[in-house]
Structure formats: C-alpha cells, structure tokens
Structure 1
C-alpha cells in the first residue's frame, strides 16, 4: 500500500507520475456506429507515498448525487499535501447516463452486476473488465456512490461487508449513522473489488435523477473522514456521527410491501424514527372507499421510503431497520442537540412527537 517513495499510477495506455494530475477519457467500448464509449477519469497522484483509493459513481446511469461528490473531490479540493493517489470516476455507466436510465441500454444489462468483467463475454462484462483492470484492481480501497432506484428515496447510509475487518474499518471511517452489513450481490462492484483485495463500500443517498445538496455535503464529509483515517489527508479529522447502528442485512432489516394496490400516502419521510404500531402509510383505492393502514412492525428508523405514490400488491413501501433502546436514546440526544443549535434536521424529521418516550 505504501512505501518510502510515491509511485506512479499506471493503466493501459498511460502513466501518472507522483505530483501529477491527469484528466482522461478512457475508451471501454464502441457504439453501433463504431464510435468510442469513453468514461471520464481523473487521477491525482500525490507527491507523498500513501494508499490508492478510487471514488466511483453512476454505475447506474440515472443515479446522480455521487457524480457531484466525485467531481468536487477531484476538482474543488486542495490536494497539495496528498499522501497517496485518488482515482476519480464520476460516470461509470456512460451509455445509461446519456439515456438517463439505470441500466446499460444495450440489452438492458446492469453494469453493477457485471464486475469484475470478462474481456470475451457480454458487452456489459467487457466494459466492466476494462474499468476493473485499469482503475479498480490497482487500488487499495474504494468508495462507490449510489442513490435509491427511481420512485424511492434513501437516507444516507453505508453498505459494507462488516465480516471483513478491512471493509469494516473503511465503513466506520466514513462516519454514517447507519451501516447495513452484507457481502453484496454477485457481480456488484463493491463485492468484487473487496474480494479482489481492495476493501470497498457502497454509499446510498437520496433519489435518482437529481442533485441533492444536503446529501452531497454529507457524503463529502464522509470522504474527508476516510481520507483522514487512511492518512491521505493526514491533517483532517476522522468523523464520529454521534450515534451508529450496524444492521445485519440477512437478519435485521425489513422491507414493508403493499398487500393491496392503490394510491399511497406516506406519513413519514426517510430518516424518521417510528414506533411499533405507528401508521407509516395508508393505501386507498381511487374512491377512497377502501383503506389499508401499514403499521411499523417494530420501533425503528425509516432508511428508505416510496416516492412514487402508486403500488401494485407486493411493491415495496419502505425500508425500516430496528433500533435498540441505547441507539434510540443516542439518536434522540443527537437530534435534540441539533434542534437546540438550530441545525437543519434530516428530511422527514418532525421534531417533538418523535422525541417523546413511548
């Protein structure tokens, strides 16, 4: 990871020496007309030795918040005292980004289920292979930015394999309140990069098709904390979020799904603390003659909620994670302090009713 002297970063076709920054457009495929499909990559190689980290976004082409996080780290931050190398890839799925859709338009394939790729396989796996071999495999760690899929929204949280000590260190360094632990699906960038030797986490935040400044700023604080933890920016502080819960994806999280089709009225937004038995949302038919109330099955935090207010039976309504009593108390103290200081609360936070003991 580190040596006595800074080392050059090499990729197929180029080299970035210590103290240099390069903006490149790297060809990973071709269009139907034979024109190159090129991803933008910025490589910042510090004069001082240190780890190599990648920051990636828009593996799903309509997930935009992470693009701005990666761009601001690359172009707005001062890296004069950088110890190590930063590989910034703000748009991985260029065809999807141009079409403003989640998947690659080519046969509707998911780039984020195609890693580490294969050079003689499908178009998606060939693209993933080019990205992986040139810009992911040479790195020591990575952060992959995502948002919720269209029609839903997430509070900012980390997804990471907390059974892997190196991944767990990175996840905690990011400084989020919520970490959801799982190895991730086969072919996902974070899973394949981690198994390939570069501990990687996914950051979920907000919704598709937009820039949301509050999430972008939170994520930038998280990146700064990671840079401090790994001494890329040794003078920056490591962030403690005030409270934290780590959720086992296989045991503790719950997606609440609709048992009836209709129009949905959400009573709480992402980031809300809801108590067992609290009506989270209601589903009605067009005439409002039938109503189904969906209640919280336990006391927990709404990590994600529906934005598009129409459902079929079986469609997801919200993503709720259980909080123990100690975590609830810490959350309440944190939000009460923020309210006293006049800080902006997370979306969906409604103040005193959620702070009352129940």
Structure 2
C-alpha cells in the first residue's frame, strides 16, 4: 500500500520526501514542513518521528539527519513517517516559541485546523502521528545543560503507562522522567489516542551536541529493532527513573558556582550551588531539599534574584 504524508508518497520498498502544508506566511506564501515517508517492503508497525517542535531544540533534527539515510526500505518491515522540523517559524529565527502566535507549540496538541498558527501546525502533524503504532517526539532541554533522558508524560494511572514506560526503556537514554505532563504535550496526548508515546530529551545545548545526537540515533534504532521494523537484537538495560522535579531559583543576584555535577547523585542537605558577587564573595548557598539526581542547570552563570538555576530529579528508582 502506498503511504503519503503531505506531498511525500512511497509505495512498499520506497522512500520519498516532500512538504506538509500548514498555512501561509505574512506575505501569503505557503508554509510546508519537511517530511519523509519510509515505506518498508514488508508489512509491520508504523513509527511516527518528529523533531524541533521547540524552535531552538536542534538535537532531534541531528538525529533525523543521521537515522533516515541509514534505513533501507527494502530491509524495513512497516513504515516510518518523519516530520523533520515541526516549529517552522521558531526554527527560522532560532526561538523556542512560535513567534507568529507567541505560543509554545508543544502545548497545543491535538491542535485545531482553524486555530492559531501553532494549533494549525499541531493539527496537521497530529493527523499523521495518531495513525502510528508508536510516537517518538525528539526534544532537548532547550539551551540549558541537561542529562539525556526520556519522558513518559501520560501519567502513571493511564492505561498505556506501562507501554510508554517500556518504549522509554527500549529507547535507552539511561534516565527517565515519569511524570504526567502539561496539557497539550504530544507525549501526553498521543496515549489518549491509543499510541504509546515518549519525549526523549536529548541533553541541552546551543546548536548540536554530538554526544546527545549519537545517543538519540542509538535510541531510535533500538526502537526499530525491538519492535521488529528492522532485524537485530537489542540489549535493554535498567533505567534510572525520577518521578518528580525539585526546581531551585537564586535567592540573591550574582554569579552561580555549581557544587554538584550534572547527572550526579545528591543527598538532602548537599550544597547544589552558591551565588557570589562579582568579586567572589559568597552571597547565598542553596542545598538540596531531597535525595535525587542533579538533572538540569542553566547555562549562563549570571542570575537575578528569583531566577531559575537548576533542577533535581527526585523519587528516584530503577526499572
């Protein structure tokens, strides 16, 4: 059966690229997202893969650029639908949000074909995503510093929670955040349509991070092999799971010095960071409220009083 996504159309054993129409720009020209269809020679499951729904999160695009050329449709069972850049307008200006409607696009699913710019984009890509058997929505921790992790966002009482958790374990970043996500996230909405969905957060960087991109490439191929899209064995390892975040802001303005390493275990009472004045005099010291893992931190050292500094993943176990 021939499979289409926008103008991309592929018969069994074929590959094609095209554009998915999502509206018009301010000068009336059409906007098309870059899409691809990989239609396997044999029947099987369908994977939906997307990146850059936040316009400055590029590691997912780095993964797609590596993964797609390596897949031969002749050896594939099933099909893969790919949207390489979801937040078209944010990507053009390297901004996190969609500047046309000033919305975070990954809060607008399942979208509205007659709504705002972000809602129209979400509606168009979700029409494709909900036809899949699995959804991978590739992200990163924006431009902050963050460990590689996968997010299960449906909530632990959801009927598909165990399947989403299994998908995250197969992807194999090493760390999983298992916490119900905000309304409008694809990783929360996908399971409501019966599709196991995860949100791999591939580090945090300005531009591409080679280490995180490679981890994402390995994760996608783990999924393709485990779910029988491709031949091959997958060695599934235990994942470290956090069930919530503690977030910390600066009690005073100044320069941040971290006392915990990204990805390290911290114990309640451990010093996470200090804030100094421009001459190195300590103004404030912040300690961990709970045991956990030093998960994420701001990249720039200067902070104003009350500004976000870092996050610790808590309620940690392994599975």
Is TM-score (shorter-chain normalized) higher than 0.5? Answer: yes
The answer on whether the counterparts of 2:9 and 2:37 sit within 8 Å (CA) in structure 1 is no
For structure 1, the 5+ residue unaligned runs are: 1-6, 331-358
The answer on whether the counterparts of 1:71 and 1:88 sit within 8 Å (CA) in structure 2 is no
2-side partners of 1:261 and 1:310: how far apart?
8
For structure 2, the 5+ residue unaligned runs are: none
Q: Among 18, 39, 60, which residue is 2:12 paired with?
A: 18
1-side partners of 2:120 and 2:201: how far apart?
26
Q: In the alignment, what sits opposite 2:54?
A: 60
Q: In the alignment, what sits opposite 1:37?
A: 31
1-side partners of 2:9 and 2:74: how far apart?
19
2-side partners of 1:277 and 1:110: how far apart?
35
The answer on whether the counterparts of 1:175 and 1:240 sit within 8 Å (CA) in structure 2 is yes
Q: In the alignment, what sits opposite 1:220?
A: 217
Is 1:146 the counterpart of 2:139? The answer is: yes
Is 1:245 the counterpart of 2:240? The answer is: yes
For this pair of structures, how many residues does the alignment match?
314
1-side partners of 2:103 and 2:272: how far apart?
34
- Look at both structures and tell me which one has the larger radius of gyration over its CA atoms: 1
Judged with a 3 Å threshold, the aligned counterparts in structure 2 of structure 1 residues 59 and 232 are, in CA distance, closer, same or farther, namely same
Give the C-alpha shift of residue 236 in structure 1: 2.1
Q: How does 1:176-255 map onto structure 2 within 5 Å? A: 176-233=173-230, 235-241=231-237, 243-249=238-244, 253-255=245-247
Is 1:286 the counterpart of 2:278? The answer is: yes
Q: In the alignment, what sits opposite 2:129?
A: 136
2-side partners of 1:162 and 1:117: how far apart?
21
Q: In the alignment, what sits opposite 1:337?
A: none
Question: Secondary structure, in 3 states, of the residue corresponding to 2:91?
Answer: helix
Give the C-alpha shift of residue 208 in structure 1: 4.1
Q: In the alignment, what sits opposite 1:308?
A: 300
The answer on whether the counterparts of 1:245 and 1:323 sit within 8 Å (CA) in structure 2 is no
Judged with a 3 Å threshold, the aligned counterparts in structure 2 of structure 1 residues 320 and 287 are, in CA distance, closer, same or farther, namely same
The answer on whether the counterparts of 1:147 and 1:153 sit within 8 Å (CA) in structure 2 is no
Q: In the alignment, what sits opposite 1:263?
A: 255
TM-score, reference length from structure 1: 0.81
Q: Deviations over 1:253-307 (max 9, x none)?
A: 3112222222111233322233443322110123444421222334432121221
Question: Secondary structure, in 3 states, of the residue corresponding to 2:202?
Answer: strand
Q: In the alignment, what sits opposite 2:311?
A: 319
The answer on whether the counterparts of 1:261 and 1:283 sit within 8 Å (CA) in structure 2 is yes
Give the C-alpha shift of residue 67 in structure 1: 0.3
The answer on whether the counterparts of 1:300 and 1:322 sit within 8 Å (CA) in structure 2 is yes
Question: Secondary structure, in 3 states, of the residue corresponding to 1:206?
Answer: coil
Q: In the alignment, what sits opposite 1:91?
A: 85
Judged with a 3 Å threshold, the aligned counterparts in structure 2 of structure 1 residues 177 and 323 are, in CA distance, closer, same or farther, namely farther
Cα RMSD for the two superposed structures: 2.1
Q: In the alignment, what sits opposite 1:349?
A: none
Give the C-alpha shift of residue 162 in structure 1: 6.0
Give the C-alpha shift of residue 107 in structure 1: 2.7
Q: How does 1:117-128 map onto structure 2 within 5 Å? A: 117-128=111-122
2-side partners of 1:290 and 1:301: how far apart?
24
